[in-house]
């Protein structure tokens, strides 16, 4: 049974979902998504502290989609950055779910990275952040490998992830961050 993206997406959207997006993630889409969520959270009168935490994590997650959201050819779209984002207000916490396609060969690198970060305490996360910040390397996409660490640090929670088989070349990666 092949992975059905539309079904996966629909199942994520229930009465707790306060924002959802599926599609192209170009520069202008990143801007639009962030603007929309900012408006939604401001309208909910969320505390400035929580608002900033959510927004900081969102910035990294959406830009992650922008940099890494691959497009398998059978998606039949005319752009080359694709991603999914759902923001849910679960009462006591917010949950951000993102999803994107990755090439199968990227699996180990991403899984190892998330697993490693998930084992760290908050203080260890902070130390790792400082180490990466201060090393000279900058990835070609400009992120420098800091994004995931920042997400863990700002949210204070482990990332929940799932790799789902899609076809011979691609997997679908979904990550949930709870704040």
Partner 1 sequence: MNSLVLEGSPKTPSINFDGEKGAFLIEGRSIPENSLDFYKPVMEWLDSYVKEPKEETKVSIRLEYFNTSSSKCILDVFKKLETIFKRGNKVIINWHYEMDDEDMLEAGEDYQSIVKIPFNMIEDDE
**Distance (Å, whole) CA 129 – CA 123:** 10
CB 93 → partner 1: shortest distance, Å? 17
Q: Is the separation of the CB atoms in 145 and 133 below 8 Å? A: no
Q: Is the separation of the CB atoms in 69 and 25 below 8 Å? A: yes
Determine if 56 is a binding residue for partner 1 (CB under 8 A).
yes
**Distance (Å, whole) CA 52 – CA 69:** 25
Determine if 55 is a binding residue for partner 1 (CB under 8 A).
yes
Determine if 167 is a binding residue for partner 1 (CB under 8 A).
no
The one segment of 4-12, 44-52, 98-106, 163-171 that binds partner 1 by CB under 8 A: 44-52
Q: Is the separation of the CB atoms in 86 and 19 below 8 Å? A: yes
Determine if 113 is a binding residue for partner 1 (CB under 8 A).
no
Interacting residue ranges for partner 1, rule: CB under 8 A: 27, 30-31, 34-35, 48-49, 52-53, 55-56, 59-60, 63, 66-67, 126, 129-130, 133-134, 138, 142-144, 146-147, 149-150, 154
């Amino acid at each position: 049974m092949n992975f059905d993206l539309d079904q996966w997406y629909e199942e994520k959207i229930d009465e707790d979902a306060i924002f959802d997006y599926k599609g192209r993630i170009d520069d202008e889409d990143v801007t639009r998504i962030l603007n929309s969520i900012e408006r939604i959270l401001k309208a909910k009168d969320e505390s400035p502290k929580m608002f900033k935490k959510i927004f900081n994590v969102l910035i990294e997650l959406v830009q992650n989609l922008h940099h890494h959201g691959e497009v398998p050819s059978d998606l039949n779209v005319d752009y080359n950055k694709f991603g999914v984002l759902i923001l849910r207000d679960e009462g006591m916490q917010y949950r951000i779910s993102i999803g994107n396609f990755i090439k199968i060969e990227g699996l180990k690198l991403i899984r190892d990275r998330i697993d490693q970060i998930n084992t760290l305490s908050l203080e260890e996360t902070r130390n790792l952040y400082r180490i990466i910040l201060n090393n000279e390397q900058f990835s070609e996409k400009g992120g420098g490998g800091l994004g995931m660490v920042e997400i863990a640090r700002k949210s204070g929670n482990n990332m929940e992830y799932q790799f789902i088989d899609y076809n011979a070349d691609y997997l679908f990666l979904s990550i949930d961050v709870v704040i």
